[in-house]
């Protein structure tokens, strides 16, 4: 019986969020921007939630807007860091030589903390257009993965809750 409650609760939440219309994707985008500045919840969970709520394609699209926007915010927040150490200057020279490919690799490989890369790029005053283009392209594989997994997880949750509810109703 409790799974029926969970299923109903999950459906109610989804319907409530989607009932917000235009503001539902705006909420996801805003949550992703806030998450990068104050990383309390992993962005992968928010992207997965977007996939579960809006489907993998729209969830990915709305998440892309949020993640790119958050990377711009963090880049310019990085400007507030004064002074750069000698090791950072060496890194800056290395990144400037191949800035697009460097950022593309940093974004495509999910080992590097997203907000730290953004803050560091701003602090080092690296080329913004290369940074933005590489970020916009480099995040696509991970966004697609998390949005798809979010959609699948939502489907599994809904179908398993329905199966359990059906089983208990037959008892």
Average pLDDT of every residue of the chain: 80
Compute the distance between CA of residue 87 and CA of residue 72 in angstroms, rounded to an integer: 24
User: Residues with Cβ < 8 Å from 149, sequence gap 6 or more?
Assistant: 48, 51
pLDDT in tens, 98-135: 778 888 888 888 777 888 889 888 888 888 999 999 99
* Burial (Cβ within 10 Å: 0-12, 13-18, ≥19) of residue 108: middle
State residue 16's pLDDT score: 60
**Of residues 17 and 167, which shows the higher confidence score?**
17
- Which pLDDT score, from 0 to 100, does residue 105 have? 84
Q: What is the pLDDT, as a whole number, of residue 4?
A: 47
Token pair of 136, please? Answer: 């916009």
What CA–CA distance (Å, rounded) separates 86 from 76?
21
User: What confidence tier does 167 reach under pLDDT thresholds 50, 70, 90?
Assistant: low
Closest CA to 64 of 158, 138, 130: 138
Vertex 42: Cα angle to 41 and 47 (nearest 5): 110
- Residue 8: pLDDT band with limits 50, 70, 90: low
Whether this prediction's pTM lies above 0.85 is answered by: no
List CB contacts of 151: < 8 A, sequence separation 6 or more. 51, 52, 55, 56, 59
Contact 35, 41 (CB under 8 A): yes
Q: What is the band of 73 on the pLDDT scale with cuts at 50, 70, 90?
A: very high
């Amino acid at each position: 019986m409790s799974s029926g409650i969970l299923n109903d609760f999950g459906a109610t939440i989804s319907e409530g969020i989607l009932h917000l219309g235009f503001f539902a994707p705006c909420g996801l985008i805003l949550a992703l921007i806030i998450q990068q500045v104050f990383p309390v919840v992993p962005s992968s969970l928010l992207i997965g939630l977007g996939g579960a709520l809006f489907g993998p394609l729209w969830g990915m699209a709305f998440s892309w807007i949020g993640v790119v926007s958050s990377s711009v915010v963090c880049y310019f927040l990085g400007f507030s860091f004064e002074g750069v150490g000698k090791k950072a200057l060496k890194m800056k020279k290395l990144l400037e030589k191949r800035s697009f490919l460097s950022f593309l690799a940093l974004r495509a490989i999910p080992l590097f903390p997203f907000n730290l890369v953004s803050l560091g790029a701003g602090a080092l005053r690296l080329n913004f257009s290369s940074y933005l283009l590489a970020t916009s392209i480099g995040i696509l594989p991970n966004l697609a993965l998390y949005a798809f997994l979010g959609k699948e997880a939502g489907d599994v949750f809904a179908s398993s809750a329905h199966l359990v509810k059906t089983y208990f109703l037959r008892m």
